[in-house]
Amino acid sequence: MIELYAKQNEAGKGHETGTALLEKVFSERYPGKSFPDLIRGANGKPEFAEKGLFRFNVSHSGCWTVLAVSENDIGVDIQLIRPIGRPVTRRFFTPRENEYLASLSDDERIKESIRIWSIKEAVTKAEGSSLALRMSGIQTVAFDGTYKTAIDGKYVYFPEFKDRDYRLTAASASSDEIRISYL
């Protein structure tokens, strides 16, 4: 089971909200146990120092913070839908993705460029890879113009998010059921 916990926060308070969500979920799963130290993995991804606990990932954008929890490697990304500049898409998107975006209306291009970015970020975070080094190597769009649901051994999920101004994507090493709780 992949569990997503979403909470609105004040602008600039995403990190604090993410930490509070992680502490809350930990205390519910392990009542009476002290919150363990957090360490950085090989590429800087936060994880518990104590082995055998759940895996997690946090993302925040605008007024939303999302915590993803799973027994397997997990990545999550939430993005406020807004324009992404051409220099960014040329650098981080594949030629096929850029061709696909060029075929869309301006309004659709904005939404779909955020979707592509969010997929790339969630997959990269699930791997624990470096965002800057990995994103241009992830192909999200299939030959028929649909989005892939499995990329480099990671399953990609597009859960419905209640705030239509945001795009939410999760990626995991397993094909699990996904649940969102709004706190």
Residue 99 belongs to what H/E stretch?
helix 95-102
d(CA 69, CA 102): 35
Please give the tally of structural domains in the chain.
Answer: 1
The range of the structural domain enclosing residue 77 comes to 2-182
Q: Between these two residues, 150 and 167, which has the higher pLDDT value?
A: 167
pLDDT for res 9: 93
Q: Looking at beta carbons, which pairs linking 140-144 to residues 24 or more positions away fall under 8 Å?
A: 140/94, 140/97, 140/116, 141/94, 141/96, 141/97, 141/100, 141/116, 143/96
Helix-helix angle 106-127:95-102, to 10 degrees: 160
Quote the tokens at residue 115.
């979707």
The pLDDT confidence band at residue 38, using thresholds 50, 70 and 90, is very high
pLDDT for res 165: 95
Q: Output the domain CATH number for residue 154.
A: 3.90.470.20
> By percentage, how much of the chain surpasses pLDDT 70?
95
List, for residues 129-144, the tens digit of each pLDDT value. Answer: 766 666 777 888 776 6
Q: Is the pLDDT of residue 147 over 80?
A: no
d(CA 126, CA 90): 23
d(CA 172, CA 73): 6
Residues 12, 18, 21, 27, CA torsion sign? negative
List, for residues 50-67, the tens digit of each pLDDT value. Answer: 999 999 999 999 999 999
Mean pLDDT, all residues of the chain: 89
List, for residues 11-21, the tens digit of each pLDDT value. Answer: 889 999 999 99
In this prediction, residues 97-112 reach a mean pLDDT of: 93
Gyration radius (Cα) of the chain, Å: 16
